[in-house]
A = this chain, B = another copy of it.
Amino acid sequence: MAKTAVVNINIVTGDPRPIFRQIVEGLRMEIACGNLPVGAKLPSVRGLAMQLTINANTVAKAYSELTTQGLLEARQGLGLFVAQPKQRLNQDEQEKQLGSAIEKFVNDIAYLDFDKKDLLNRIEESISKLSHKRDED
């Protein structure tokens, strides 16, 4: 049987995001960075709940959303696995989400002091950590 991957996420008290969303976003990044490759087996609902000291239903909710997003694949009685990535959004929806993300980001940083070049470098660096972005020009 496949060995359970180590999931390196934690819940930050005081983070304005709900707990289940911190899990969702934490796992999205772990998968996007290649720390959880396709086929990796995630901790069980009850296992991750104990690890994070939260309720199992909260973990189940996060896992359910990731499954709906196509990042995970659930097999009842067996566990949850990182799914083979597939294109799920059409071009228009992609463009819309990209635009929203840029707008939200600029809103967040609008009142901060920073050097523009430095900022763009940091963004480029963070993007380069995404595993499927590493091989691009």
Q: Is B105 within 8 A of A105, CB to CB?
A: yes
Q: Which residue of B lies closest to A133 (CB)?
A: B116
- Among A98, A106, A114, A124, the most chain B Cβ lie within 10 Å of the Cβ of A106
- Number of A residues contacting the other chain (C-beta, 8 Å)? 39
> Pick the contact of A105 from B104, B110, B136 — CB < 8 Å?
B104
Give A119-137 as 1s and 0s: 1 = Cβ < 8 Å from B's Cβ atoms: 1101110110010010011
> Pick the contact of A126 from B89, B97, B106, B113 — CB < 8 Å?
B106
Known: A107-B28, A107-B29. A126 touches B112 (CB 8 A): no
Tell me whether A92 is interfacial, beta carbon within 8 Å.
no
Q: Is A101 within 8 A of B97, CB to CB?
A: no
Q: What are 20 A-B contacts defined by CB distance under 8 Å?
A: A25-B107, A28-B107, A28-B110, A28-B111, A32-B110, A71-B111, A98-B109, A101-B112, A102-B105, A102-B123, A104-B104, A104-B105, A104-B108, A105-B105, A105-B108, A106-B127, A106-B130, A109-B127, A120-B124, A123-B123
Known: A29-B107, A89-B112, A119-B123. 18 other contacts (CB 8 A): A25-B107, A28-B110, A28-B111, A32-B110, A32-B111, A98-B119, A101-B112, A102-B126, A103-B126, A105-B123, A106-B126, A110-B130, A116-B127, A116-B133, A116-B137, A119-B127, A120-B120, A120-B123
